[in-house]
Amino acid sequence: MLKKVTIKNYKSVYDMTIDLGRMNLFIGENGCGKTNILEALAMASASKSLDLDVEGLYNRGVRVVKPDLTFSSFTGLKQNKKMSVDLEFQEGVEKVSSSFTIRSILYCEDEKDIYSKWKDEDRTYMIDDAEINLPQMPDKGDKGIGKWHKWLVNDVCKLTEYLIFNLNAKALRGIGSESKKTPLGINGESLDILLSQFAKAEWEQLTQHLYLISWLDEILIDEKDLFKFKGHKLGRSNSVLYFKDRFMRKKEMNNIFSAENANDGLLYILFYLALFISKKTPYLFAIDNIESSLNPRICRTLIKELSDLSRINNKQVLITTHNPAVLDGINLNDSEQRLFVVYRKEDGKTQLKRIKTKPDTDEKLKLSEMWMRGYLGGLPKNF
């Protein structure tokens, strides 16, 4: 699992270290640098996949700008023309654990050219799913090196799959498909295809969570999209997902409607559940603004469920949110679930701190209320 991230000189993040858990929530004002933290990891991910071009970055969810604007640029400070991301992974348990750092030191030949290809001074990268290029290959005679090497390959592989999901309803409905990433696109593309590939156990996990959508009776995947010809959708969408409403008349299938016509919340919930349940989706990923289109109580419960799913399915996730209700879904007594407040210092640099409640506190105030009342920080202060 990724335990520690150190980011230097990336956009507003000048120098920051984060000790991560499994489920990591980031809150803070608009423009405080939350997404920059997620993006720095995407830069490292693209590098270790030898995918450091505009497409490679864009497809991971990076808001690409010219390198001059990618490196931290603060008044009164000389700009450094390199950024770095150090990722410390830890594998195993107790005595047989091992930790290692994967480093990316990124620079560009032409800092003014948005299309300029990025380069990494560190030459660690994935060759294929099982093979890694290391600047210094370990001596295979060393005891335990085999396990260490396996862990390293596994972690770099996880890193290369890292994406920032930032959903929009159009992509979820199957209208337009900007992201070609598989199995799920970063905007919500291809949910129907992934669900159609779900194994029985995955369906069972999904079904257990469908109580979140009170009116939903059943999910249908109409592989031949025949419902389209019966007037269930206009056909602008290429999604073959259909839903049965438990309250609508069953006669003549008047209770079935398509993803094209479904409400946004349903599609967002399904997407997140599929993302956390599927064995084909990345093990390490980020979600920007998870609260979009979701009712506050659903936010709270969904986060709790996703947190459980992340543990069961061994996913690690970084999530940003602006909705206080999301905070009520995490349990800060569990060290795998962490809350970070991101803010900018007066000089503009992004900083972050982990919020922990005192172990002996008997306060019953919800985290959402604590945030809104200013006890956690991460709110504008000038009005």
Partner 1 sequence: MYIGIIAEGKGDLAVITNILKGKLSVDKSDVEYLQPELDFDETDLHRMRAEQFSNWAIVRETCMKKKKLSDFFSIDEERYVIIHIDTAEAEETNYEVERPVKHDNPSYSKELRDNVIDRVNEWLENQFSKEIFYAIAIEETEAWVLTIYTDRQGDTCRYNDPKKELNRVLNKKLSKKERKVLTLGNELIKFDKLTKKFGKAKNLSEFMMLNESLNFFCKSLETIQ
Least Å from the CB of residue 347 to partner 1: 8
Cβ(342)–Cβ(34) below 8 Å: yes
Give the closest residue to 75 by CA, choosing from 346, 351, 347.
347
Least Å from the CB of residue 16 to partner 1: 14
Least Å from the CB of residue 355 to partner 1: 6
| Shorter beta-carbon distance to partner 1: residue 216 or 370 | 370
Least Å from the CB of residue 298 to partner 1: 22
| Shorter beta-carbon distance to partner 1: residue 61 or 324 | 324
| Shorter beta-carbon distance to partner 1: residue 18 or 159 | 18
Least Å from the CB of residue 153 to partner 1: 38
| Shorter beta-carbon distance to partner 1: residue 252 or 363 | 363
| Residue 76: C-alpha distances to residues 79, 224, 302 (Å) | 9, 61, 44
Structure tokens at 227: 């419902």
The single-letter code of the amino acid at 174 is G
For residues 308, 309, 312 and 317, what is the CA-based torsion angle, rounded to 10 degrees?
-100
Which residue ranges make up the site for partner 1 (CB under 8 A)? Answer: 343-346, 351, 353, 355-359, 361, 363, 365, 370, 372-377, 379, 381-383
Residues 355 and 178: their CA atoms lie apart, in Å, by: 36
Least Å from the CB of residue 338 to partner 1: 13
| Shorter beta-carbon distance to partner 1: residue 72 or 316 | 72
Q: What is the DSSP string of 53-104?
A: SHHHHHTTT-----HHHHB---TTSPPPS-EEEEEEEEES-GGG-EEEEEEE
Task: State the sign of the Cα–Cα–Cα–Cα dihedral 55, 57, 60, 65.
Answer: negative
| Shorter beta-carbon distance to partner 1: residue 80 or 351 | 351
